């Protein structure tokens, strides 16, 4: 979860029902949105993972900058939260062999991709897929994903949410 304004709401909802989550934070957005106390609060009951310093697509920057994004964000989150940051999420889901090697060198124990609908244990902890995504999507993306993965219509339902005057679809899968 990386949308700052939704993080604290999601954390409180998870806590209410006895669940825990992993929240991937890009440090620059956290500071810009003045969400430091929210992130500290979230980390009391949930895992906080890194999502880089600036949420740049790692496939589009030099490896030296990738290294900076990985190390600096991890160190800043550990300093701020006074606990180890072990998880990482690739911005935009972009990664390759060299980026994975840098993630390992930086000291992360796992990294999440943006591959959806996984119901199996991932054999590679640096290519973890997503089972459920609670994120605003446009309806055509939901239909495209459902078609691609051959999901029966009753499993994938778009729910329309009104948020800040903007109608959005929330992608929910009912069978997990």
Q: What is the pLDDT of residue 164?
A: 41
Containing 64, the helix (H) or strand (E) segment is helix 63-81
pTM, full prediction: 0.75
* Domains of the chain: residue spans and CATH: 4-131 (3.20.20.370), 133-176 (no CATH)
Residue 88 class from Cβ within 10 Å (0-12 exposed, 13-18 middle, 19+ buried)?
buried
Q: What is the pLDDT of residue 127?
A: 94
At 119, the pLDDT band (50, 70, 90 cuts) reads: confident
For 128-141, write each residue's pLDDT tens digit. Answer: 987 666 555 555 66
At 122, the pLDDT band (50, 70, 90 cuts) reads: confident
């Amino acid at each position: 979860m990386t949308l700052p304004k939704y993080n604290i709401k999601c954390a409180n909802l998870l806590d209410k029902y006895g669940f825990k989550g992993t929240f991937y934070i890009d440090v620059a957005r956290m500071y810009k949105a003045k969400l430091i106390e929210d992130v500290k609060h979230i980390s009391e009951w949930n895992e906080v993972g890194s999502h880089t310093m600036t949420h740049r697509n790692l496939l589009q920057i030099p490896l030296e900058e990738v290294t900076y994004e990985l190390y600096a964000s991890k160190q800043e989150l550990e300093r701020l939260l006074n606990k180890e940051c072990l998880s990482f999420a690739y911005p935009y889901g972009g990664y390759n062999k060299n980026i994975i090697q840098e993630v390992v060198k930086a000291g992360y124990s796992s990294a999440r991709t943006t591959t959806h609908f996984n119901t199996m244990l991932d054999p590679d902890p640096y290519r973890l897929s997503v089972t459920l995504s609670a994120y605003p999507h446009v309806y055509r993306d939901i239909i495209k994903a459902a078609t691609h993965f051959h999901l029966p219509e009753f499993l994938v339902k778009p729910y329309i949410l009104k948020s800040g005057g903007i109608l959005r679809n929330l992608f929910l899968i009912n069978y997990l």
